[in-house]
């Protein structure tokens, strides 16, 4: 059996000149998530529609609820633009709601086709009366109903009752590409999610210090990348062998500055990759004051190798709120798996909190890490994740 969804795009409707480009992106993003699944997308001003097979309901609901740029969606009846067919669909929706234990309802009508014989208010009133007669267990409550029957009279008529939330934001890719520094922690996946929702197409880089960090640590980052892919549709992960760079820092840098130097080296590597992949921004999970390397003074030093904007969406967010988001987006339970972090192994007992900026940048230059960094990029492994991986990770049908 066919299943039909009405989709409400969000912020892209506010775009004037380049709305078509946003619509094209959004379609492409839905296609990416539905790869390998029979589906048909239609778009009309202000609404998208997707038709799938009933058996693919769960996949489709997952895909749409993880698609930035969508405010919401709902399985819907599409009907002829006649009062009778609309009322029949309304009774269907109401009967189903009553079967699910709902007691009160209201009807809301949006009519953009003004040639329809009834006005919005009249149609809502007639639909309400029809429901009361057909489903006696239901009562009207216009202020706080258990459910709302929605009617839209547009190019066709649509009736739906159970809207689901989309992530809102902008379609992935509509803001260009960004490179996320993805560690195995809680923060960076959340930072990636937040920027993907603002339209950044993400590639990720993970700095791996084998054998100081284990293969399990790397696997954990790969799983985080897959869980992020649920929100981005596709994603590339660069794993950079960073052991030599870390050892060079350990050997050459003043003890208290080693974390700072490592962060700076990560930024230099990120800047070089960003150039190669044409990323327009670097994204990190840094939050002001969270640890010594995230004071304002230290951020100025660690970002010194790049001229790209370093986007830090968590800069003003408390850890508690970040944890909550991580739980909501499905990355938390992976992030808290107990695998060591390379930076902890190399971190100084007494890190510098307010180092002199110019002096530190000079010290960093003296380490002459560029060659090692170039080598690590040349030896990087690059993996591409798609919705196939998401389906396997989440055990979707």
Tokens 């408390």, residue located: 318
Contact 207, 269 (CB under 8 A): yes
Of positions 34, 159, 343, 390, contacts ligand ATP by CB under 6 A: 343
Q: Residues with Cβ < 8 Å from 204, sequence gap 6 or more? A: 179, 180, 181, 182, 192, 225, 228, 235, 236, 237, 238
Q: Which of residues 333-372 bind Mg ion (CB under 5 A)?
A: none
The reply on whether position 285 binds ligand ATP by CB under 6 A is yes
Q: Which of residues 201-220 bind ligand ATP (CB under 6 A)?
A: 205-207
Of positions 286, 363, 389, 393, contacts ligand ATP by CB under 6 A: 286
Nearest to 249 by CA among 148, 135, 341, 368: 368
Contact 175, 131 (CB under 8 A): no
The reply on whether position 187 binds Mg ion by CB under 5 A is yes
Identify which of residues 95 and 290 has a Cβ nearer to ligand ATP in the complex.
Answer: 290
Q: Identify which range of 184-192, 229-237, 251-259, 347-355 contacts Mg ion by CB under 5 A.
A: 184-192
- What does the block give as tokens for 85? 């067919």
383 pairs with which residues across the strands? 237
Of positions 174, 188, 295, 306, contacts ligand ATP by CB under 6 A: 188
**Residue 107: Cβ within 10 Å count:** 26
Q: Identify which range of 4-12, 132-140, 337-345, 352-360 contacts ligand ATP by CB under 6 A.
A: 337-345
Identify which of residues 39 and 218 has a Cβ nearer to ligand ATP in the complex.
Answer: 218
The reply on whether position 98 binds ligand ATP by CB under 6 A is no
Q: How far apart are CA 311 and CA 164, in angstroms?
A: 30
Nearest to 211 by CA among 239, 184, 249, 241: 241
The reply on whether position 187 binds ligand ATP by CB under 6 A is yes
Tell me how far, at minimum, the Cβ of 60 lies from ligand ATP, in Å: 31
Of positions 183, 246, 304, 325, contacts ligand ATP by CB under 6 A: 183
Residue facing ligand ATP at closest CB distance: 185
- What does the block give as tokens for 362? 């000079």
**Residue 27: Cβ within 10 Å count:** 16
The reply on whether position 291 binds ligand ATP by CB under 6 A is yes
341 binds, among ligand ATP, Mg ion, none (CB under 5 to 8 A by kind): ligand ATP
Tell me how far, at minimum, the Cβ of 187 lies from Mg ion, in Å: 4
Tell me how far, at minimum, the Cβ of 205 lies from ligand ATP, in Å: 6
Contact 190, 326 (CB under 8 A): yes
Identify which of residues 10 and 285 has a Cβ nearer to ligand ATP in the complex.
Answer: 285
- Applying CB under 6 A, the site for ligand ATP has a residue count of 18
DSSP tag of 170: B
Angle in degrees, 0-180, between the axes of helices 370-378 and 258-277, rounded to the nearest 10 = 50
Q: Which of residues 265-284 bind ligand ATP (CB under 6 A)?
A: 284
Tell me how far, at minimum, the Cβ of 174 lies from ligand ATP, in Å: 23
Contact 230, 390 (CB under 8 A): yes
Identify which of residues 205 and 279 has a Cβ nearer to ligand ATP in the complex.
Answer: 205
Tell me how far, at minimum, the Cβ of 202 lies from ligand ATP, in Å: 12
Tell me how far, at minimum, the Cβ of 233 lies from ligand ATP, in Å: 21
Beta strand segments in the chain, E:
2-9, 39-44, 47-53, 70-79, 104-111, 139-140, 147-153, 157-160, 164-165, 177-181, 201-208, 235-241, 281-283, 310-311, 381-385
Of positions 167, 171, 185, 330, contacts ligand ATP by CB under 6 A: 185
- The footprint of ligand ATP (CB under 6 A) covers 181-183, 185-188, 205-207, 284-286, 290-291, 341-343
- The footprint of Mg ion (CB under 5 A) covers 187
């Amino acid at each position: 059996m066919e299943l039909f969804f009405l989709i409400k795009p969000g912020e892209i409707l506010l775009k004037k000149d380049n709305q078509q480009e946003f619509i094209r992106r959004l379609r492409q993003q839905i296609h990416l998530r539905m790869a390998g699944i029979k589906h048909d997308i239609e778009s009309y001003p202000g609404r998208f529609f997707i038709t799938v097979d009933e058996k693919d309901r769960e996949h489709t609901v997952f895909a749409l609820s993880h698609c930035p740029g969508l405010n919401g969606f709902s399985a819907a009846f599409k009907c002829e633009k006649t009062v009778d067919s609309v009322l029949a669909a309304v009774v269907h929706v109401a009967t189903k709601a009553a079967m699910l234990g709902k007691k009160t309802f209201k009807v809301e009508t949006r009519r953009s086709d003004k040639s329809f014989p009834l006005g919005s208010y009249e149609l809502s009133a007639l639909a309400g009366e029809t429901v009361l007669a057909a489903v006696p267990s239901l009562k009207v409550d216009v202020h706080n109903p258990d459910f709302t029957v929605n009617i839209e009279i547009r190019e066709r008529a649509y009736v739906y009752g159970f809207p689901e939330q989309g992530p809102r934001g902008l379609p992935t890719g509509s803001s260009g590409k960004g490179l996320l520094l993805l560690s195995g922690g809680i923060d960076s996946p959340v930072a990636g999610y937040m920027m993907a929702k603002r339209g950044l197409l993400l590639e990720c880089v993970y700095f791996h210090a084998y054998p100081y960090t284990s293969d399990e640590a790397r696997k954990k980052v790969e799983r985080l990348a897959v869980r992020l892919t649920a929100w981005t549709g596709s994603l590339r992960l660069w794993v950079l062998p960073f052991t030599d760079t870390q050892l060079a820092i350990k050997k050459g840098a003043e003890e208290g500055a080693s974390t700072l130097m490592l962060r700076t080296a990560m930024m230099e590597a990120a800047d070089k990759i960003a150039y190669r992949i044409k990323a327009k921004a670097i994204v990190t999970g840094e939050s002001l004051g969270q640890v010594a390397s995230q004071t304002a003074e230290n951020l100025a030093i660690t970002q010194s190798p790049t001229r790209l904007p370093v986007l830090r969406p968590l800069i003003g967010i408390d850890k508690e709120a970040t944890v909550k988001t991580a739980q909501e987006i499905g990355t938390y339970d992976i992030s808290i798996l107990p695998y060591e972090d390379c930076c902890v192994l190399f971190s100084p007992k007494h890190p510098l909190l307010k180092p002199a900026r110019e002096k530190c940048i000079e010290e960093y230059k003296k380490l002459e890490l560029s060659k090692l960094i170039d080598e690590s990029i040349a030896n990087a492994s690059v993996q591409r994740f798609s919705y196939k991986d998401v389906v396997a990770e989440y055990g979707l049908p």
